[in-house]
């Protein structure tokens, strides 16, 4: 007869809990150390490439913590490899334009000379209201007071007021 009063899906014994209590802090500390050693670029504002790497790192950390058959050293090796690959790709993108074009989008012009560019806005799924909010954040009351508005590679909007 099973001495566990809980269904196995709810509680499978203390060994799994103890494993998580040991592995999670160790994996977390190792990840913080790896990210600190990799530099500020790893934790920068996210473009699509950085977002993918961040999700992969988070998924790997979750696997290290919750997968009983994955040894801590194997999981940390995977984390280190992901960060190293990100460093290699970002270093290559700084040195080689084709690599940079492959991993990063270019900023998109959404407003020029105070006039919205509807086709660019539609392609980038940006509303007139978002452009107006960006203008207000830049201290501008009307769109015709702006020279340009750009959708940056990290998804933020930048407004350039017209010169006085």
The pLDDT value given to residue 124: 92
- Give tens-digit pLDDT for 61-97: 999 988 888 888 999 999 899 888 888 888 898 899 9
- Give tens-digit pLDDT for 12-45: 778 888 888 988 898 888 888 887 777 665 655 6
**Domain spans, the chain:** 14-102, 108-161
For the domain made up of 108-161, give the CATH fold: CRO Repressor (3.30.240)
Predicted TM-score (pTM) of the model is 0.61
**C-alpha to C-alpha distances, 111 to 88, 92, 129, nearest whole angstrom:** 35, 32, 13
Per DSSP, helices labelled H in 1-109 are 14-38, 48-66, 72-95, 97-103
How far is the C-alpha of 20 from the C-alpha of 22, rounded, in Å? 5
- Give tens-digit pLDDT for 103-158: 777 899 999 999 999 999 999 999 999 999 999 999 999 999 999 999 988 788 99
The pLDDT value given to residue 158: 95
Strand partners, 116: 111
CB neighbour burial string for 114-134, b if at least 16 within 10 angstroms, e if fewer: bebbeebbeebebeeebbbeb
């Amino acid at each position: 007869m099973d001495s566990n009063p809980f269904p196995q899906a709810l509680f499978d014994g203390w060994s799994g809990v103890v494993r998580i209590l040991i592995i999670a802090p160790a994996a977390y500390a190792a990840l913080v150390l790896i990210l600190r050693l990799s530099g500020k670029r790893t934790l920068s504002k996210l473009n699509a490439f950085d977002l993918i790497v961040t999700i992969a790192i988070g998924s790997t950390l979750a696997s290290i913590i919750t997968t009983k058959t994955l040894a801590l050293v194997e999981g940390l090796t995977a984390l280190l490899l992901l960060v190293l690959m990100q460093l290699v790709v970002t270093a290559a993108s700084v040195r080689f334009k084709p690599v940079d074009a492959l991993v990063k989008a270019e900023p998109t012009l959404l407003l020029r000379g105070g006039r919205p560019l509807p086709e660019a806005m539609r392609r980038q799924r940006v509303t007139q209201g978002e452009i107006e909010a960006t203008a207000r954040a830049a201290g501008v009351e009307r769109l015709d007071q702006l020279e340009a508005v750009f959708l940056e590679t990290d998804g933020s909007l930048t407004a350039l007021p017209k010169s006085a």
